[in-house]
Each structure stands twice: as C-alpha cells, then as structure tokens.
Amino acid sequence: MNAESVLLTWSAPDADSVRVLSRSGADAFDVDTTLTNPTTPSAVTRLALKQSEQREYVLQSFRGGQLSPFSRRATLRPHDPLRLGEVSFVAADQVQLLFNGPLDPSRSETKFWLLSNAQTVTPAYRNEAVVLAIGPGIRDSIAWSGLRDAEGTPIADSVVAIDPAVAPGNQFYLASWTLRPPRSVDVLFSAPVTTASATSPANYTVSPFGQVDSVEPLDDAGLEFRITLSGLAVGPTGLDAYLTVDGVEALDGSLIDNDGGVISLSEAANGLADAYVFPNPVQPGQNRLYVGGLPNEAEIRVFGTNGVHVATLLEVDNDGGIAWDLRDEAGALVPSGIYLLHVRLEGEPPILLKAAIIR
C-alpha cells in the first residue's frame, strides 16, 4: 500500500476464522491477528496491516474445528507505490509509459483504454515501461487499471494525457522479439541496422548471468536477427532474466532507444508436457529448487515418499516457473530425501516429477 503498511487479499469460503501469520527471515511464523467470521461464501477479504519491514505472510483457516495447511506464501516489503516518470513516443503511432521501477510480470488484471471513447489499447511490456499502439495523430488521455509493480503494489497514477505533437517521425527501437528455447532469441528492429553493430555480441548484455555467443542476420533487409546465448536458458524457466540491447545503430546513424531495447527472457509454457525441475539433485549449500516449463496457474503439491504433504506452490507470474525454498508448510527446512511433485493444471492431465535433496 505504502512505505508503512501492506494489504492482504484472500478468499476463504465458509471459514469459521482465518489467522494471519508472518515472519522475518528464517524465523518461525508468528500469529499477527485472527479474524472471526471473516467472509461470506466466495467473498474476498482485505486486511491492512501496519508494517515497516519486509516479512513473509501465510494464512490458515479454521473450518469445523479443523486447521488448514498454510496458504501460498507472499513476501511483502512496505514501500511507496511506483509513479509514472516519463511519457514518450517510440514511433509516430506508439506511446511509451516509463515508470520508476519494474512492473508486475503477470499483468493478469491490467487494462489500458482511451479515456474519450473507452477503446481498449493492447500493451507491450518492457520491464519498467509499457508501449501502447494508439494510432497516429491521436490526442487523448490513456487510463489504466490493475497495473502493479513487481512486488504487487498498485501503481499510484492511473491516467495520463498524450500529445501527438511531440511524436518523432522515426525513433529507433526494438519492435518485437520471439524466444526460441532453449538458447536463442529472434529480434526485429524498427528500422534497418548496420550489420557490424547488430552482430557484435558486445552490444548485448544478459542479466543476471550468461552471455551472448553470436548474432546472425535472418533477412537481407537488416531488420531481423537471431541472438544465441550461453550460460542461461530462455523460455518457461521462472528466472528473472533479461537481455538488454545497447549500441546497435540504424543505417541513418540513430542509436537504439535506451528504454526500447530490453527483452524478458522468460515466458509461460503452453502446457505441462515439458515441465522439469532444476537443479536435481539439490546439493548442499543450494537453497532453491526450481520447477520450469509451467503455464500460468499451474499448481504443484510436494509430497515425501511416505505420502505426507510437504508444500503447495502456485505459478502466477507468467514467467514459466516457480522456486521452492525447500521449506514445508510450517516454514521448516525439509530434510534430505526424494520428493514427489504433483503438477496439475485445469483442463490437462496431471504429471509427476521427482527431485532429490542432499543436505
């Protein structure tokens, strides 16, 4: 909500009560509050809590005297909402909204529209920016709802006026891209580029790790290129990974726009067929197990080989994967052993994955 409070939202149909627990770091969970008769069936409850530090939250409900397992965990850091920092045209018919921090990668509830006629505008996202194709010469205001930062806090602003008089005729930017798992990305520039600048790996940066091995042209017009990486997979990995294009030059001498050359290297999978776990086994000193190859809304239930339920994970941010912190529903580190991951998605048959943990 802001720098001093957090907002929890949940649905607990038919619950007699719900308790909110939180912890700092690896401490045990403490009960913050218990709500009696918190909702009517299918209703959503919102609870604002005063807080000044990053904490991990879980919920538990009571139904008929039975205490439920922990809900999906959420780590929340109280902070001021992001604000719109700059409005610019990256082409005569495309306006870019640049915010002062990373945006929520899931964007499942985000909507943009023209204020004058409520016409919906389709967005394209670039980490801290949104590019909207509005058509040339349109003078209007753009409004939006559901836009959040990377930690789930709603954006402070919700409308901005746009003026086509400031639109450039031929600003140079990255028009589109397509991920080619496991190691390549096809990019399309908005204008023909010099082959020397576009094929130089030095003009591309991969984060948080990895590098560009080669860049090859895909057409004779100098518009489309294939970038091949090493040290990092692309596609439905669940990793917060990006490729930044900087230093590529158009034939007219223009350099690529600073805010128009960032590519997310993660995306949601189309189904469960290619789901996988890594690293496997998890070695001593490693504190995360990743499940990749996931569509959005995929649910993972982790069990021990004795059939005891250990943890539940839910993929919700459209990056194709999720990290398990190797803790059970009570927040305790799980011991060495083999674990079964039951992965399911509505409309598809479930699959079973295995993972080994070595302490």
Q: How far apart are CA 303 and CA 316, in angstroms?
A: 21
**Taking residues 51-78, what's their average pLDDT?**
81
Least confident of 73-87, 164-178, 291-305, 328-342: 164-178
Over the stretch 26-45, which tens digit does the pLDDT of each residue have?
Answer: 778 888 777 765 544 434 45
Which pLDDT score, from 0 to 100, does residue 258 have? 57
Q: Are 108 and 296 in contact (CB under 8 A)?
A: yes
pLDDT band at 55; cut points 50, 70, 90: confident
Which pLDDT score, from 0 to 100, does residue 41 have? 41
Residue 226 structure tokens: 């294939």
- For CA atoms 199, 200, 202, 203, give the dihedral sign: negative
Q: Are 206 and 232 in contact (CB under 8 A)?
A: yes
Residue 277 confidence (pLDDT) above 90: yes
Which pLDDT score, from 0 to 100, does residue 300 have? 94
Comparison of pLDDT for 123 and 282, the residue scoring more? 282
Residue 333 structure tokens: 């580190």
| SS3 assignment for 248-297 | CEECCCCECCCCCCEEECECCCCCCCCCEEECCCECCCCCCEEEECCCCC
- Neighbouring CB atoms inside 10 A of 48's CB total 11
β pairing state of 289-292 and 211-217: unpaired
Q: Report the b/e string of 231-256 with b at 16+ CB within 10 A.
A: ebbbbbbbbbbbbbbeebbbeeebeb
Q: Are 227 and 234 in contact (CB under 8 A)?
A: no
Q: Residue 119: helix, strand or coil by DSSP? A: coil
Q: Which of 111, 98, 112 is nearest to 262 (CA)?
A: 98
* Maximal C-alpha separation, the chain: 72
The half-sphere exposure of 240 on its side-chain side, counting CA atoms within 13 A, is 10
Residues 6+ apart with CB under 8 A from 305: 337, 338, 339, 340
Q: Residue 197: helix, strand or coil by DSSP? A: helix
Residue bearing tokens 């067929």: 273
Comparison of pLDDT for 79 and 339, the residue scoring more? 339
Which pLDDT score, from 0 to 100, does residue 40 have? 46
Start-to-end C-alpha separation, the chain: 39
Phi, psi (deg, nearest 5) at residue 336: -60, 150
Q: What is the dihedral of CA 122, 124, 128, 129, to 10 degrees?
A: -70
The residues with which 111 forms a beta bridge, in sequence order, are 145
DSSP 8-state assignment for residue 203: G
Which pLDDT score, from 0 to 100, does residue 76 have? 78
DSSP 8-state assignment for residue 286: -
Over the stretch 184-209, which tens digit does the pLDDT of each residue have?
Answer: 999 988 889 999 999 999 999 999 89
Q: How far apart are CA 108 and CA 208, in angstroms?
A: 25
> How far, CA to CA in Å, does 4 sit from each of 33, 77, 98?
18, 9, 25
Q: Which of 83, 178, 101, 93 is nearest to 132 (CA)?
A: 93
Q: Which domains does the chain have, with CATH numbers?
A: 5-76 (2.60.40), 84-166 (2.60.40), 174-264 (2.60.40.1220), 276-357 (2.60.40.3580)
Over the stretch 97-156, which tens digit does the pLDDT of each residue have?
Answer: 888 888 887 666 788 888 878 788 878 777 788 888 887 777 788 888 888 887 777 887
Residue 168 confidence (pLDDT) above 60: no
